[in-house]
A and B are shown apart, each in its own frame.
Chain A
Amino acid sequence: MLQSIRDRTSGIVAGFIIALLVVPFAFWGIQSFSGGGGDPVVVKVGSEKIKESQFRRAYEQRYQQYLQLMGDNFNAADFKQAEFQKTVLDDMTRESQLRQHADKLGYHADDASLFKSISAIPAFQSDGKFNTQAYRTMLGAQGLTPERFEAQMRRSLEIDQMREAITDTAFMVPVERDQLMQAVGQLRLVRYAELNVGSYAGKIQISDDAAKQQYEDSKSQYMAPERIKLSYVELSQDNLPTAKAPSDDELKALYSAEKAGRFTTPEQRKVSHILIKFGADKAAAKKKAEAIKAQLDGGADFVALAKQDSEDAGSKAKGGDLGWLKRGDMPESFEKTEWSLKKGETSDPVETEFGWHLIHIDDIKPATVKPFDDPDVKRELTQLYQNKEKQQHFQDLSDKLDQLAFENPTSLEPVAKQLGLKVETTDWFTREGGEGIAANDAVKQTAFSQEVLKDDENSKPITLNDSTLVVVRKNQYDAPRQRTFDEVKDQVIKSMQEAQGKTQAEADAKAMIADLKAGKSLDEVAKAKSAEVKDAGALSSNDTNADPALVKAAFKIPHPADGKDSYGEATLKDGNLAVMVLSKIVPAPAQAMPSAAQFNQLAAGKEYEAFRDNLADEIKVKIVNSPADAIPDPESE
């Protein structure tokens, strides 16, 4: 076996192959070959691959930024994950295209520029100047080597160079700026007559026959939705009878179970202390505390010494008094000593994070237990007992309700009878819900479920709240149906009036414009149709005070010929019609003219956008795995 391996590996061809394999590893190491594996490619951009891990990282980063930006306004329900993913991926794709393009064109930022941009980053500065130490420390904290960071910076600098070569140098020539301003900044002097569509509608007479005809023609608009009425039984804990009063034995058992938690007031200790802070020398502080303790042992007054020597600002003036303390109020080491002392005793120095304490017990309130015979205790116990009984009772009945409703699926009567409940009925309600229990979402859903609606069975118990259950079944059901003419007559007439009123108003508007064109004045034609004449003044195309529909229409009116008016129509926000007269177009006022730089920026934005689109045509993008698969749904996590 070994011989045969040897035979084969000693051939010239085998030797050559091994040599071939050795060379690349010698130059590029193994990691160049081990990539890929469990990291699928999301998208291929030209010669570059965007891997899933890269995409996830970028997505996560952008998502966090987005969360921060939105703060409390973030609403998970409105968040469009798929769209957001697409934006992130598009940006990554674009950046990759730009980077590849910059490489292809041969951009290579020089070291001086690189240093200039790195030293301008505030994080790398101390006292406003670049600091090598700070630079290395900051990078180290990010897990980056200077070489790697500098390579990244150089690349982004190169993309900046490429972009700014376009955006910094874009311009609009003066004639172009003037002409654009003429179109965008002009003001239009507009007066208009407003036709009130509502009053047109009000005057329209609709005969019953016409309404009937309209109803027949558009019957499908007048459907009533399906509706249902439910029978139900309601089991409520509140409605259960109070359990009978417990016997003394039962109460005693309960008392012993509840004594410690409910009827015992724990021991309290009135404590004073003298605090000596550690200061610079912990041992010296302890000596000082010990000296005070010696004075106390020699008969000195605790309160006086506390006032004099304690370094606890809170209690010093009160002679060290900390008031009545329970277990758990103080740090552990303090407490251990505190609860081992007898009344009137003072401890040796005790160490806590605050310093050295001398603890003195002023008084002790022993734990008290309210006796069983106390009438308050008895009342509380009885109540407790009865509540528990009631809860238990409710639980039992709930189980029974479940069982009975299931065993007698075709009727609620047996359930009601055995549980002593009443079968009640709801009003009609639609899928939108209704009054009483029909307002409850679970009830609404159950009412139109297969089980209740189609199979005509009892529902399972539905929980309305902690102490109320209902079981429902269908009482009556109306399928969606055609509403009769009589039901909807008023509605039909109203909508006909509105439609016809609008048509009349529109016809009037047309006639008015014809009259205007024939040479009549706006006031004249408005009066004839009892329309109100209004002056919109000098409108600008981005006017925010006037009705937006009016502004939009006003700027679509053809230019008035010399000395003549020009006309247009608009449907206003409230539905009324406006017949407009454009008398004059005023050029943009000189002070409204933006600076050349602003025009240049406008050109820059468009040119760079086109430049990038051009790249998109040149450097092909191929989606390999849709990003939707790469990012897990946040709700499934």
Chain B
Amino acid sequence: MTTHYDDEAQVEQLRAWWKENWLALVAGLVIGLAAIFGWEGWQHHKEKRAADASQMYEELKDALSANKTDVAKPLADKLTAEFADTPYAADAELRVAAQAEQAGNYEDAAKALQWVRDHAKDKGLQQVATLRSARILWQQGKLDDALKLAEANKSEAFAPLFDELTGDIKLAKGDRKAARSDYQKAYDATPEDQPSRQLLQRKLDDLSETEPS
């Protein structure tokens, strides 16, 4: 059914259309491609930064386990100063804190943990750091501060850990009844198959005289 005439007319139409629209079409393509390559480039940039941070973090890890604080310190400082947007900064501070705690250097441990609480993007990690901060406060003899911190902000998953810690601190203060109530909360929230439940049971049993009878 196609006639020569039809084709001629269509070619003419197409030409006219192209003349009118080529700019928009090309512009659209350029913008689209730029967006695709731009996104890829941004991803690549982010990965590259993370990889750099990862490498420093691994070096820091090795330095700490070899007890080379002089090597570790500048690495940790650089990570927190320039790579706070990567997870490696917070991880580095956790390692610094653990090292300080082991050395009995509780001030430094507290500082490193504070950094994690303030800057970590990960809520779970913030909880971990808060829990550890409370431990440090307890060790420093600041029992009330420790309790305040531990009782303030706990997510559901971390609640049993915080409750057990506050129970411990209350027991250390001599308030056996309050300790028992915290232990009981932790115990009730811990799944049966977890070994930590047995330890909680022991702690509860040891406070049996406070049991409401």
Q: Which residue of A lies closest to B134 (CB)?
A: A173
- B121 is an interface residue with CB less than 8 A from chain A: yes
Q: Would you call B208 and A556 a contact (CB within 8 A)?
A: yes
Q: Would you call A183 and B135 a contact (CB within 8 A)?
A: no
Q: Would you call A602 and B196 a contact (CB within 8 A)?
A: yes
Residues of A within 8 A of B209 (CB): 558-559
Tally of chain A residues near chain B (CB < 8 A): 56
Q: Would you call A610 and B136 a contact (CB within 8 A)?
A: no
- A208 is an interface residue with CB less than 8 A from chain B: no
Give the interface SS of chain A, mostly helix, strand, loop or mixed.
helix
Which residues 186-203 of B sit at the A interface, judged by CB distance below 8 A? 194-196, 199, 202-203
Q: Which residue of A lies closest to B52 (CB)?
A: A110
- A23 is an interface residue with CB less than 8 A from chain B: yes
Q: Would you call B135 and A23 a contact (CB within 8 A)?
A: no
- A170 is an interface residue with CB less than 8 A from chain B: yes
Residues of A within 8 A of B69 (CB): none
Q: How far is the CA of A555 from the CA of B206 in the complex (A)?
A: 7
Q: How far is the CA of A165 from the CA of B54 in the complex (A)?
A: 12
* Chain A min CB distance to B145 (Å): 14
Q: How far is the CA of A184 from the CA of B198 in the complex (A)?
A: 10
Q: Would you call B10 and A171 a contact (CB within 8 A)?
A: no
Q: Would you call B47 and A108 a contact (CB within 8 A)?
A: yes
Q: How far is the CA of A557 from the CA of B57 in the complex (A)?
A: 51
In the complex, identify which listed stretch (A88-96, A174-182, A334-342, A622-630) lies at the interface while the others stay far away.
Answer: A174-182
Residues of A within 8 A of B199 (CB): 180, 183-184, 602
- A218 is an interface residue with CB less than 8 A from chain B: no
Q: Would you call A110 and B55 a contact (CB within 8 A)?
A: yes
Size category, B interface: 35 or more
Q: Which residue of B lies closest to A185 (CB)?
A: B202
- Known: A110-B52, A173-B101, A607-B128. Is A3-B161 also a contact (CB below 8 A)? no
Q: Would you call A165 and B202 a contact (CB within 8 A)?
A: no
Residues of B within 8 A of A617 (CB): 155-157
Which listed residue, B17, B90, B136, touches A12 by the CB 8 Å rule?
B17
- A435 is an interface residue with CB less than 8 A from chain B: no
Residues of A within 8 A of B1 (CB): 1-3
Q: How far is the CA of A197 from the CA of B59 in the complex (A)?
A: 69
Which residues 590-617 of A sit at the B interface, judged by CB distance below 8 A? 596, 602, 605-607, 609-611, 613-617
Residues of B within 8 A of A106 (CB): 46, 50, 85-87
Which listed residue, B32, B171, B196, touches A606 by the CB 8 Å rule?
B196
- Known: A105-B121, A611-B124, A614-B127. Is A168-B196 also a contact (CB below 8 A)? no
Residue from A2, A161, A173, A558 whose CB has the most chain B CB atoms within 10 Å: A173
Which residues 239-262 of A sit at the B interface, judged by CB distance below 8 A? none
* Chain A min CB distance to B128 (Å): 5
Which residues 537-577 of A sit at the B interface, judged by CB distance below 8 A? 541, 555-559
- B105 is an interface residue with CB less than 8 A from chain A: no
- B34 is an interface residue with CB less than 8 A from chain A: no
- B8 is an interface residue with CB less than 8 A from chain A: no
- B98 is an interface residue with CB less than 8 A from chain A: yes
Q: How far is the CA of A71 from the CA of B117 in the complex (A)?
A: 49
- B115 is an interface residue with CB less than 8 A from chain A: no
Q: How far is the CA of A541 from the CA of B201 in the complex (A)?
A: 11
Q: Would you call B138 and A165 a contact (CB within 8 A)?
A: no
Q: Which residue of B lies closest to A107 (CB)?
A: B87
Residues of B within 8 A of A110 (CB): 51-52, 54-55, 58
Q: Would you call B32 and A23 a contact (CB within 8 A)?
A: yes
- A221 is an interface residue with CB less than 8 A from chain B: no
Q: Would you call B128 and A179 a contact (CB within 8 A)?
A: no
Other CB < 8 Å A-B pairs besides A169-B98, A613-B157, 20 of them? Answer: A3-B6, A10-B10, A112-B58, A113-B58, A161-B91, A165-B94, A172-B135, A173-B139, A175-B138, A180-B168, A180-B203, A183-B199, A183-B202, A555-B205, A557-B208, A559-B206, A602-B199, A606-B161, A607-B131, A610-B127
| 15 interchain pairs, CB-CB under 8 A | A10-B10, A12-B21, A23-B32, A105-B122, A107-B54, A109-B51, A165-B87, A166-B125, A168-B95, A169-B95, A180-B168, A186-B206, A557-B208, A613-B156, A614-B155
Task: Name the 7 nearest CB pairs between A and B, nearest first.
Answer: A558-B209, A108-B50, A613-B157, A173-B139, A165-B91, A169-B98, A110-B55
